[in-house]
C-alpha cells in the first residue's frame, strides 16, 4: 500500500496530522549518457488520457483533503475577500451592443448568474431575442465553458461549441435562430428536419460557408492536436464530413478563420516559429486552395485581403515584422508596404473596406494607427490619455464601417470601450467598467519603471499601489509575470487586485524576457538556450524593487500560471529566501520529462520554444539545468500553494503533483506546502465567474496569511 494511503473508512473523516507523503517507486531512464531517476513517475496514469489509477486518484484526494484542512482556518478571510471582490463586479454586467449585418448583438449576465446570455435585435427595430443562455447549458454540470460561437451571414443559423469537463475537446451544436432551438429535432425555417448535426472533438474557431449550408472546423486527434480541417454539411452525420486539409508535420497544428471581408476562409497551420496560410473562397469551401507561400523554418506570417490584394504580416526580413502586399494570382511575390522597424513592433493588421488598421508597440506601449490604402504616408495614430496603458481594437465584425470600436484600460483606469469616429477623429466613450462598491482612481498611483538585470538588460515594471503606502521597504509586494511564447502581460485593470492593494500591497507586473513587451527580440532572448534570462529577470526585478524601497526581502509574494508556473518553480529553486509566499497555478515544472514525451498533446509543437532534448544533447542539458522538478534540492523553501486540473491537456495534472511530492520529500523547512487539484476541471480552473472569483479569494487569503498581513493593516 502506498505510504500516503490510509484506511478509507474511519481515517478519512479524521483530521490529518501530517501531509500525505507520496511513495517513491524506482524508475529511471537513460539519455545522452545521463541516467535520470524519477521516483514519482508513477503519478502519471499509464492509461492517460483516461485517468483511473486508484493509487493516483487516492493521492490527489489526500492532497486535496490536506489543502482543505489547512485552508479551513482561513475560511473567514476567504469569505471576506470573496464578498468584497464580488461587490466590485456589476452583477448584471453587459457588453456594448455592436452591429453586424442586419442585427445588433450583445451579451449580458443576470444578477447572481455564473454565465452569460447572448442577445440580438434587428437593426430595423424589434424585440430583443435571447439566442443562447450559457446558464441553461451549464445546468447540473460541474464544469462548462463556451468555446467558439459563430452566426451565419444571413443571421438565420448559429453554431457554438462547448466543453463540459475541462479537457478542451469541444462539441459543436447548431441552433436555428428563427426558433431559438437546437437542431436536429426542430424545423429550421423552410429547410426541413436535419439529421444528427452535433460535431464531437473540436477545438478552435468554427466558420460557416457563405450560404450557411456548411461549416469548417478543426478536429482534435487522440493526442489533442488539430491536424485535420473538415467541412460539415448541415443535415449530414459527422462521419460524412469532407476532409479539407491534412497537416503532414507532427509539430504543426491547424485552424480556421475568416478574412475581415469574409470573402475567404483562412486555413492557418504552424508551430511556435513557422507558419503557412491557405485561402479558400467562402462561397466554395471545396474549391481550389490558394497557398500564400510554402512554409520556411523560422518564418511566420498572417494574411488579410482587400479587393484582390493580399496584405501579409511577416518576420521574414525583420524581427519586428513588416507588412507586405501581393496579388491573389501571385500570392508568393511580396512587396514591402511597411518596412520592419527596430523602434516599432508591428503586431497586427486589419483590412477594412475604406482603410486599414495596424497595431503594435513602441517603447512597450500599445499603438493603434489608421492608414490609407491610397496614400501609404497618410497615418493617423490614435492618442490615448495615460503614460502607461493597454489599448487595441475591440469587436469590429463588419467590413465597411465609419466608427472603430476600441478598448482601453490601465492599472488605475477600469476597462473602457470607445468608438473612434473616423470623420471627426474623436474618441466617444461608450462604457466605463462600473464598480458597484465604489472606486476612486485618484486614490491610487501607477508607475512604470525599469530595473537593471544582471546582464545589463533594462526590464520594465508596471506598479500600482494606494496613495499613502510607505515606500520604505516595509510594504508587502506581489510580483506577477508570465514570460513565455511572446505573450506580453499588459498593464491592465483588475478589480480583484484591489483586495491586495487596499491592504497595503504594492502590486507589480514584471515585463520580463520571454514575453514580447519590448519587441520580438525581447521574446527571443527568453526562449530556447536563453530561457534562464526569464527567471533571472524576475529575480532581479524583485531584488531591484526591494533596493528601491518598494518592499523588502521576504515580504514579496509571487504568482504565475502554466509557463508562469514554471517561472515560479525556477525562482524558488534559485532564490528561496527572497519570497514570503508563492502561488503556482497549473505549473509547467516537469519540463525535461514532458519535452521527451512525444505522445503528449503539445510536446512536438513546443520543441521550437524549449528545444528538443530527445535529439539535442545541449538542449537536454540546458533544460535539465533549470527544469523546476529536476532541480528541487534539500534547502528551505517558502510557503507554497500549487494548483492543477485533472483534465488539463496543456499542463497535465501529474506535473504539479510530482513537483509537490518531490518538494515534500526533499525540502528542509516546516513552511506550508499545499496542492489543490481540480478534479473536474482543466487548465483554466473552475468555470463560472463566481467560482473563478472564489479561487482568487482563496489564493489571496493564502498570501495574506503567509505574509502575516492582518485586517488591521487594511
Enumerate the active-site residues.
562, 648, 683
Kind of pairing, strands 103-108 and 98-100? antiparallel
Q: φ and ψ at 241, to 5 degrees? A: -65, 150
- CA-based end-to-end distance of the chain: 48
Distance set, CA 107 to CA 116, 117, 157, 333 (Å):
6, 6, 18, 43
CA distance 240 to 238: 5
The answer to whether residues 58 and 4 touch, using CB atoms and an 8 Å cutoff, is yes
The answer to whether residues 638 and 581 touch, using CB atoms and an 8 Å cutoff, is yes
**Which residues does 166 contact at the CB level (< 8 Å), separation at least 6?**
143, 145, 645, 646, 647, 648, 678, 680, 681, 682, 683, 684, 687
The answer to whether residues 507 and 446 touch, using CB atoms and an 8 Å cutoff, is no
CA distance 538 to 304: 37
Map 369-432 to HEC letters: EEECCCCCCCEEECCCCCCCCEEEECCCCCCCCCEEEEEEECCCCCCEEEEEECCCCEEEEEEE
CA distance 193 to 187: 5
CA distance 551 to 568: 19
**Which residues does 215 contact at the CB level (< 8 Å), separation at least 6?**
159, 172, 174, 199, 206, 207, 208, 209, 231, 232, 234
Nearest to 357 by CA among 415, 307, 401, 299: 401
**Which residues does 670 contact at the CB level (< 8 Å), separation at least 6?**
none
3-class DSSP state for residue 656?
A: helix
Nearest to 395 by CA among 29, 6, 49, 97: 97
CA distance 130 to 399: 25
Map 444-502 to HEC letters: EEEEEEEEECCCCCEEEEEEEEECCCCCCCCCCEEEECCCCCCCCCCCCCCCCCHHHHC
Q: What is the maximum alpha-carbon separation in the chain?
A: 79
Amino acid at each position: 500500500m502506498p505510504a500516503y494511503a490510509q484506511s478509507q473508512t474511519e481515517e478519512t473523516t479524521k483530521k490529518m496530522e501530517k501531509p500525505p507523503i507520496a511513495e517513491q517507486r524506482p524508475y529511471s531512464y537513460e539519455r545522452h549518457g545521463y541516467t535520470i531517476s524519477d521516483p514519482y513517475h508513477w503519478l502519471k496514469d499509464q492509461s492517460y488520457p483516461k485517468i483511473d489509477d486508484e493509487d493516483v486518484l487516492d493521492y490527489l484526494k489526500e492532497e486535496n483533503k490536506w489543502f482543505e484542512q489547512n485552508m479551513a482556518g482561513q475560511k473567514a478571510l476567504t469569505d471576506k475577500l470573496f464578498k468584497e471582490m464580488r461587490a466590485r463586479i456589476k452583477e448584471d454586467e453587459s457588453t456594448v451592443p455592436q452591429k453586424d449585418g442586419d442585427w445588433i448583438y450583445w451579451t449580458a449576465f443576470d444578477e447572481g448568474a455564473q454565465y452569460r446570455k447572448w442577445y440580438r435585435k434587428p437593426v430595423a427595430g424589434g424585440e430583443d431575442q435571447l439566442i443562447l443562455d450559457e446558464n441553461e447549458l451549464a445546468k447540473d454540470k460541474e464544469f462548462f465553458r463556451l468555446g467558439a460561437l459563430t452566426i451565419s451571414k444571413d443571421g438565420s443559423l448559429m453554431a457554438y461549441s462547448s466543453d463540459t469537463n475541462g479537457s478542451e475537446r469541444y462539441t459543436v451544436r447548431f441552433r436555428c435562430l428563427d426558433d431559438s432551438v437546437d437542431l436536429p429535432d426542430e424545423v429550421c425555417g423552410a429547410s426541413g428536419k436535419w439529421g444528427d448535426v452535433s460535431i464531437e472533438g473540436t477545438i478552435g474557431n468554427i466558420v460557416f460557408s457563405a450560404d450557411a449550408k456548411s461549416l469548417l472546423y478543426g478536429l482534435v486527434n487522440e493526442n489533442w492536436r488539430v491536424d485535420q480541417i473538415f467541412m460539415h454539411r448541415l443535415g449530414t452525420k459527422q462521419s460524412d464530413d469532407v476532409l479539407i486539409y491534412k497537416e503532414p508535420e507532427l509539430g504543426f497544428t491547424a485552424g480556421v478563420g475568416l478574412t475581415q471581408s469574409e470573402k475567404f476562409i483562412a486555413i492557418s497551420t504552424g508551430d511556435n516559429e513557422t507558419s503557412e496560410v491557405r485561402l479558400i473562397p467562402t462561397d466554395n469551401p471545396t474549391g481550389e486552395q490558394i497557398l500564400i507561400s510554402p512554409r520556411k523554418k523560422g518564418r511566420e506570417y498572417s494574411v488579410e485581403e482587400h479587393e484582390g490584394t493580399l496584405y501579409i504580416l511577416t518576420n521574414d526580413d525583420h524581427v519586428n515584422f513588416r507588412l507586405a502586399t501581393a496579388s491573389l494570382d501571385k500570392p508568393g511575390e511580396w512587396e514591402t508596404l511597411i518596412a520592419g522597424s527596430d523602434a516599432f513592433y508591428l503586431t497586427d493588421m486589419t483590412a477594412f473596406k475604406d482603410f486599414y488598421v495596424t497595431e503594435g508597440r513602441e517603447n512597450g506601449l500599445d499603438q493603434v494607427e489608421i492608414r490609407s490604402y491610397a496614400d501609404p504616408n497618410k497615418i493617423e495614430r490614435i492618442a490615448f490619455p495615460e503614460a502607461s496603458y493597454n489599448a487595441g481594437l475591440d469587436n469590429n465584425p463588419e467590413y465597411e464601417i465609419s466608427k472603430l470600436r476600441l478598448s482601453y484600460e490601465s492599472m488605475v483606469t477600469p476597462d473602457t470601450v470607445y468608438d473612434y469616429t473616423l470623420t471627426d477623429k474623436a474618441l466617444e466613450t461608450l462604457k466605463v467598467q462600473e464598480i458597484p462598491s465604489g472606486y476612486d482612481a485618484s486614490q491610487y498611483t501607477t508607475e512604470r519603471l525599469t530595473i537593471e538585470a544582471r546582464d545589463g538588460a533594462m526590464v520594465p515594471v508596471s506598479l500600482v499601489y494606494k496613495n499613502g503606502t510607505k515606500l520604505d521597504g516595509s510594504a508587502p509586494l506581489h510580483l506577477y509575470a508570465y514570460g513565455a511564447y511572446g505573450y506580453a502581460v499588459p498593464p491592465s485593470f483588475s478589480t480583484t487586485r484591489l483586495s491586495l492593494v487596499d491592504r497595503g500591497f504594492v502590486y507589480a507586473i514584471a515585463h520580463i524576457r520571454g514575453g514580447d513587451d519590448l519587441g520580438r527580440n525581447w521574446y527571443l532572448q527568453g526562449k530556447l538556450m536563453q530561457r534562464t534570462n526569464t527567471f533571472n529577470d524576475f529575480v532581479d526585478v524583485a531584488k531591484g524593487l526591494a533596493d528601491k524601497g518598494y518592499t523588502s526581502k521576504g515580504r514579496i509574494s509571487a504568482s504565475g500560471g502554466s509557463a508562469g508556473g514554471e517561472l515560479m518553480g525556477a525562482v524558488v529553486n534559485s532564490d528561496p529566501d527572497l519570497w514570503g509566499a508563492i502561488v503556482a497555478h497549473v505549473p509547467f515544472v516537469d519540463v525535461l520529462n514532458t519535452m521527451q514525451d512525444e505522445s503528449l498533446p503539445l510536446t512536438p509543437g513546443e520543441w521550437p520554444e524549449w528545444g528538443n532534448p530527445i535529439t539535442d544533447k545541449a538542449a537536454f542539458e540546458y533544460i535539465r539545468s533549470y527544469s523546476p522538478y529536476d532541480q528541487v534540492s534539500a534547502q528551505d523553501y517558502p510557503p507554497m500553494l500549487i494548483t492543477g486540473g485533472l483534465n488539463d491537456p496543456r499542463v497535465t495534472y501529474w506535473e504539479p503533483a510530482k513537483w509537490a511530492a518531490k518538494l515534500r520529500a526533499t525540502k528542509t523547512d516546516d513552511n506550508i506546502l499545499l496542492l489543490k487539484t481540480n478534479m473536474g476541471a482543466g487548465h483554466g480552473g473552475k468555470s463560472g465567474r463566481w467560482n473563478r472569483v472564489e479561487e482568487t479569494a482563496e489564493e489571496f487569503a493564502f498570501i495574506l496569511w503567509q505574509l502575516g498581513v492582518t485586517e488591521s493593516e487594511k
